[in-house]
Structure 1
Amino acid sequence: MPYSQPELSFISSSLLNTPPIRPDLRTSNSFRPLRAETEILPFTNGSARIVSEAGECIVGVKAEVENFAEHMEDVVSKTARGRGGVEVGITAKAGSTGLKEEELFNLVGGWERTLEEGLREDGIEDRLGIGRGYGWKLYIDILLLTTPASNPITLLSLTTYLALRTTRLPNPISEPNEDPLFNDDWDQSLPLFPEDTTRPPLTLLVTLHGENSLIDPTAEEIAVAEACYTVTIGGNGKVMGVKTVETSGHIVGDKLDTWLGGRGGVDRSRWFSGIRYAASCAPEVRTALENLLAIEQAMES
């Protein structure tokens, strides 16, 4: 719903306090409550679902064997272990969300390409190789089921993280120089992310308000932000990508600059402080997700 200028001005001044006073009284690095579950789709290699105040999201991961040797130039490399591939797609269930394709694109800002790049940089394609130039092609399908209460990128990222962490691949029983053959016993399947590997990348949404940085901002907080952007952090803690996000300020038309005081942009030091803040929050977020997975595994056993 649209906000009046007095409402936006009050929220903005509250967020400029030290520490900031958020509308829902969360701390700067606190997330809104959410409910998560994994392995909910029976015909996928991995899946997860998260429901939160930001919306509802389901992610399914499917793996197919593909002959990547057809794209290799030299014959010698065709007998090598090869590599795999990753493809990410995001859709909105139109009947529930009412979002058009262009509206969804404006919300996520091409985040699926950032996720692909982050996974590749973390070396996932090397682990997807099978033999004789064959590899697994991962299809990560992200479905937004409800109209998001605010920008849904963090919701999509957390759900994708859980889906990838529960993804398993059939155990190959063929030699690297043979055509791929797999064990039919799913209990013998292998995790896509074994314990000795880096974890999937995380993307966190951050907003700047004076000297304060906020994680998992609401629509109101985005509306009054001086800057809003996504920060993608790899499993090794490295920042892999930063993308600016349009704020919701347009809902009050061309008067936004007036009540923001005509600040006219954010200086470089504060811009980087927001990036560092998001990166510093990522380990704690990742630990919380890993604890959730450990609880689910304990309950299953």
Structure 2
Amino acid sequence: MAPPQQTSASQTPLISPAELSYLYTSLSLPEGPIRPDGRSPTQFRPLTAETSIVPGANGSARIGFADGTEAIVGVKAEIERTLATDALDLRQLQELEQQYDGGGGEDSGAGEGSTAGVIGGQSSWVQMSIEIPGFRDDDALPVFLSEMMRESLVGASVAGTANDGENNNKLVGGLKGRLVINRRWHWRLYIDILLLSPPQSYPLPLLSLTTHLALLSTRLPKLKSQGEEDPFFEDDWNLAEYLYPRGEHNNLRNQARPPVTLLVISADKNVIFDPTREEIAVADFVLAVSIGREIDETAGGGTNANLKLLSIRTIDPPSRLTQHGIPDSENAATMGVATTDIPERTDEEVAGVWKPRRGGVSRGVISHMIKVVLERGGVGDEVMEGLERVDVT
């Protein structure tokens, strides 16, 4: 029985050098790329999505791409006591309380729950595991994908609390801050990701979109206790509150949302989103861009939740690896020193045959890739709005 297919961004698909050359020429046309499946540069593959499919989980989602690749994500939450080593010491807490209350100290009249927005959460409160068919849990691909997605989830800190007009302080900001109950208790999230079939392309966008939907559908029991009391909750699950509160679709910019990681490639000066495995094989540069919506109370109005860049990661495409037949004198791995044991082969340009581009890409191309994601009404906005319209009830 043949071993399962191992798919990663650094593997070249089994197509000829002539086909690779034709593909790169089509993607790097000055008047715009021509993609093999006919999509526009910013168009994503068709997908189906549904939420709340795992019984007993606080949140879950499933997304399937048109190529048959599917992923399921389940989110489970449990209450946990905050260790003394995780919490702020008393002096730091008092300073933050005074800063939050405008320097008024104990007489400022802040609500009992106001300090929950000041105490930052911990990265260890979010645990993530990824299972990919054909890979062990400690293989490089699942570990790298897990840390890259977790980095965007826990990298953003909480901004503070906002009043909803009914004397209720609502927490805004990153995921870590939303897990704080009070100084002594917090929620711990377990995010389990399962890829149902061997990936036909680099699975990062699929896993990220599915995790985003699962977090949007995550609900936590409504808290009945107040202040620093030991937490106890409402028994009625119908009163449970969303981890990321829902709102009107046309009011998305006033709502904090979990992050999404998009995969972007460049072919010459063209920028292409959601690449297939074949497109990654000829890419000059592959970038994973993590974005999210966080309410920034320091922006003036306290209701602005425009897209924020959370992290960027470069991913090595096959063109960045040393190809067969490269002379040692031109190989960066040998520091330009030619060996005498094996005769060197000349690597001449041959018309119509794929030869990877050497060297890096300009900063202008990278800046343009990020700008297309973050600009108002750009790709990032379209992805967020599309996921927002998925029914999470």
Q: Structure 1 residues 191 and 166 mapped into 2: Cα distance closer, same or farther (>3 Å)?
A: same
User: Which of these residues, 308, 311, 317, is aligned with residue 241 of structure 1?
Assistant: 311
The 8 Å contact of residues 233 and 239 in structure 1, kept in 2 or not, is answered as yes
> How far did residue 132 of structure 1 move?
4.3
Partner of 1:87: 126
Cα deviation code 1:116-170 (max 9, x no counterpart): 3345464222222223421111121212221111111110110011000000000
Contact 1:229 / 1:242 at 8 angstroms: preserved in 2? yes
What secondary structure sits across from 1:265 in the alignment?
Answer: coil
The structure that has the greater radius of gyration is: 2
Give the TM-score normalised by structure 1.
Answer: 0.87
What amino acid is aligned across from residue 367 of structure 2 in structure 1?
A: F
Out of 53, 62, 69, the position equivalent to 1:49 is: 62
RMSD: 2.6
Question: Which region of structure 1 is more displaced relative to structure 2, 177-186 or 252-261?
Answer: 252-261
CA distance in 1, matches of 2:49, 2:75: 16
Q: 1:108 Cα deviation (Å)?
A: 2.6
Matched, 1:160 2:172: no
Indicate if the aligned counterparts of 2:77 and 2:187 stay in contact, CA closer than 8 A.
yes
Q: 1:193 aligns with which of 238, 244, 259?
A: 244
The residue identity in structure 2 corresponding to 1:188 is: L
Match of 2:222 in 1: 171
Q: Which amino acid aligns with 2:147?
A: G
1:84 and 1:137 in contact (8 A); partners too? no
Kept after mapping to 2: 8 A contact 1:83/1:135: no
Structure 1 pair 203/160, CA: closer, same or farther in 2 (3 Å)?
Answer: same
8 A contact 2:209–2:260 mirrored in 1: yes
Q: 1:10 is matched with which residue?
A: 22
- 1:41 is paired with a residue whose SS is coil
1:229: which partner in 2?
Answer: 287
Return 80-89 or 168-177, whichever deviates more: 80-89
**Helix, strand or coil at the partner of 1:232:** strand
Range that drifts further, 274-283 or 27-36: 274-283
Letter in 1 for 2:44: F
Q: Deviation string for 1:163-221 (max 9, x for gaps)?
A: 00000000010111211000011000011011454111111000001111111000010
Which string of whole-angstrom CA distances, capped at 9 and with x for unpartnered residues, describes residues 70-100 of structure 1?
333535859953554542423224xxx2124
Identity among equivalent positions (%) equals 40
From the superposition, tell whether residues 107 and 247 of structure 1 become closer, same or farther in structure 2 (CA, over 3 Å): farther
The equivalent residue for 1:112 is 149
Q: How many residues align?
A: 292
Q: Which amino acid aligns with 1:179?
A: D
Answer yes or no: is 1:204 the counterpart of 2:274. Answer: no
Query: Match for residue 76 of structure 2?
Result: 62
Checking the alignment, whether the CA contact within 8 Å between 2:152 and 2:311 is kept in structure 1 is no
Query: 1:118, 1:232 within 8 Å by CA — same for their partners in 2?
Result: no
Q: Distance in 2 between matches of 1:275 and 1:103?
A: 26
Distance 1:202 1:227 in 2: 20
Deviates more, 1:77-86 or 1:116-125: 77-86
CA, structure 1 residues 225+54, in 2 after alignment: closer, same or farther (shift >3 Å)?
farther
Structure 1 position 184 matched with structure 2 position 235? yes
SS at match of 1:139: strand
Preserved contact between residue 154 and residue 175 of structure 2 (Cα < 8 Å): no
- Partner of 1:91, secondary structure, is strand
Deviates more, 1:116-125 or 1:60-69: 116-125
Shift of 1:43: 1.3
Answer yes or no: is 1:265 the counterpart of 2:350.
no
Question: CA shift at 1:107, angstroms?
Answer: 6.5
